[in-house]
Amino acid sequence: MKKIAIFASGGGSNFKAIYEKIISGYIPAEISIVVSDNPNCGAIKFAKKNTLSTFIINKTQYPNLNTRNMILKQNLIKAEVDLICLAGYMKMIPINIVLHFENKILNIHPALLPDFGGKGFYGMKVHEAVIQSNATESGATIHFVDDKYDHGPIVAQEKVIIELDDTANSLAERVLSIEHRIYPELVKAFCENRIIWENNQPKIEVVIDN
């Protein structure tokens, strides 16, 4: 059974979607730690309510950057983490974590990367930029994490058509419902060792039930 670390800074609706699929037995995993920079965010409140172990990492707790990065890594190792799921985590993942957990960190982004990604593209800002660009489609992307924002190898993408009367809010709502469906599926595939790497590109091995 794989052990998962969730990293979240906000409401944590993706975290909750993954958690529910773990509780129901659909994903063969357990959440061994929930990490946040914000002790008061919805994700941490939800984790505590469900007696999950939590860890707060920020400048207030650990002012020194090197100490902060080292302590985070130690805590992930202590929690025996096999997979890190970024679910609305607002901080850059430090390089010591990226290297130690190579090909074991997933992120979800609410647009079709590489478009509308990178520094400054977070939350509603993404959807506002998409609407302003007059793009005809958007969607959600899941990718492995490297040392740049929204940059590593893409493993799944699902599109939505943008309607003429769409606003950033209505688009966000539709994209989020895709996220809640595809992120648990990807986590399940990872936990069942169904993500295969070929030429440095991840592919999902699909199981067909007869």
Q: For binding to ligand GRF (CB under 6 A), which residues are involved?
A: 8, 10-15, 87-88, 108-110, 176, 179
Closer to ligand GRF by Cβ: residue 71 or 123: 123
Closer to ligand GRF by Cβ: residue 97 or 113: 113
Alpha-carbon distances of 104 from 23, 71, 78, 122, 197, rounded to whole Å: 22, 19, 16, 22, 12
Smallest distance from the beta carbon of 90 to ligand GRF, in angstroms? 8
Residue 134 backbone zone (phi > 0: left; psi -120 to 50: alpha; other: beta): left
Cβ neighbours of residue 35 under 8 Å, at least 6 residues apart?
Answer: 5, 6, 7, 8, 54, 55, 56, 57, 72, 75, 76, 89
Catalytic residues: 109
Smallest distance from the beta carbon of 110 to ligand GRF, in angstroms? 4
- Vertex 45, ends 123 and 6: CA angle to 5°? 60
Smallest distance from the beta carbon of 210 to ligand GRF, in angstroms? 34
Closer to ligand GRF by Cβ: residue 80 or 147: 147
Smallest distance from the beta carbon of 57 to ligand GRF, in angstroms? 17
The residue whose Cβ lies closest to ligand GRF is 88
For β-strands 105-109 and 137-144, DSSP reports them as antiparallel
Closer to ligand GRF by Cβ: residue 71 or 160: 160
Q: Give the span between the Cα atoms of 75 and 200, in whole angstroms.
A: 28
